Structure 1
Amino acid sequence: MTEQPALDDLDRRILNALQADASQTNAELAELVHVSPPTCLRRVKQLTENGVIARQVAIVDPDKVGARLSAIVEITLDVQAAERMLEFEALAAQESAVLQCYRVSPGPDFVLVVQVADMPAYHALAHRLFTAHANVRNVKAYFSTHRSKFETRIAV
């Protein structure tokens, strides 16, 4: 298991501020967390090099880009051998509509979070990932009717 870097109060303030808005300048961030800009820049660089900050992204509103259908999909494989699990993970990872893929236990083998335009787009994805893939035994999909919360922030 990888050792986690120790985070001090300044690291936590920086992480919380960046999770709220990663587009701010280093000077704005430094002012917000009450340190000098060089100290802030050094800490952000260190957090990035240590893998604490995995990447910085823009969060896109799915409705504004035509990806209105969200689904949580449970997948059970027919054969759960390690290589078959990795094979399915690789297949899911190459699908842009699959936002998240979790190997879970107990219950199904995988849970996917999927975002597509509409039901025909979901059916096309289901055919590519589940129907055409010989090792998928069971698929159970839950379609979102309303998203009451969506958060990317992790409490630090």
Structure 2
Amino acid sequence: MLLDDLDKRILQQLQQDAALTNHALAALVHASPPTCLRRVNRLIDEGVIARQVAILAAEKIGPSLTAIVEITLDHQASERQTEFEQLVAHESAVQQCYRVSPGPDFVLVIQVADMPAYHALAHRLFATQSNIRNVRSFFSTLRSKFETRVDVP
């Protein structure tokens, strides 16, 4: 899908604040409200806008521990990687899962309440799986930057 300047302006504004009303968005991107609404709907239908969500400050809700976990599999065949992805896809504490190269096979970002919750998750997801060769975990002591915005060229 080719994005024109209006599409790009819309995407940039929505990445800053997806709760904008259509009229406010239209004013910010210098378009009429009907044109803006039509464009946003098209961007959603085409899958350019994957989801519109509220990003929460986990530390304000309760105790929070972020773990960045490297996973190395014994067997890296595509179907074995897909099996692992399906395993972690059903775990709500796993916020992100990336296949990476070189190095480990996967990097996960995990958000749990505390260390006992991490240990329970690690046992459930990693210790009981025969194809996992190595797990290396890093625990965040401070998040100095967090961004969800994607540069729109």
TM-score, normalised with respect to structure 1: 0.95
The residue type equivalent to 2:70 in the other structure is E
Say whether residues 1:74 and 2:70 are aligned partners. yes
Among candidates 120, 127, 130, match of residue 126 of structure 2 = 130
Matches within 5 A, 1:1-156: 5-66=1-62, 68-156=64-152
Distance in 1, matches of 2:19 and 2:40, equals: 13
Name the CA shift for 1:107/1:12 in 2 (closer, same or farther; >3 Å): same
Distance in 1, matches of 2:130 and 2:59, equals: 33
Distance in 2, matches of 1:66 and 1:92, equals: 23
TM-score, normalised with respect to structure 2: 0.96
Alpha-carbon distance, 1:66 to partner: 2.3
In structure 1, runs of 5+ residues without a counterpart are none
Listed one character per residue, the Cα deviations across residues 27-68 of structure 1 (whole Å, up to 9, x for unaligned) are 111011111100000000111111110110010111122251
The residue type equivalent to 1:37 in the other structure is P
What SS does structure 1 have at the residue aligned with 2:68? strand
What SS does structure 2 have at the residue aligned with 1:76? strand
Distance in 2, matches of 1:132 and 1:121, equals: 16
What SS does structure 2 have at the residue aligned with 1:90? helix
What SS does structure 1 have at the residue aligned with 2:96? strand
Distance in 1, matches of 2:20 and 2:78, equals: 43
The alignment yields a C-alpha RMSD, in angstroms, of 0.9
Listed one character per residue, the Cα deviations across residues 107-126 of structure 1 (whole Å, up to 9, x for unaligned) are 10100011110100100110
Which is further off, 136-145 or 79-88?
Answer: 79-88
Tell me the percent identity.
70
Distance in 1, matches of 2:10 and 2:118, equals: 39
Q: How many residues align?
A: 152
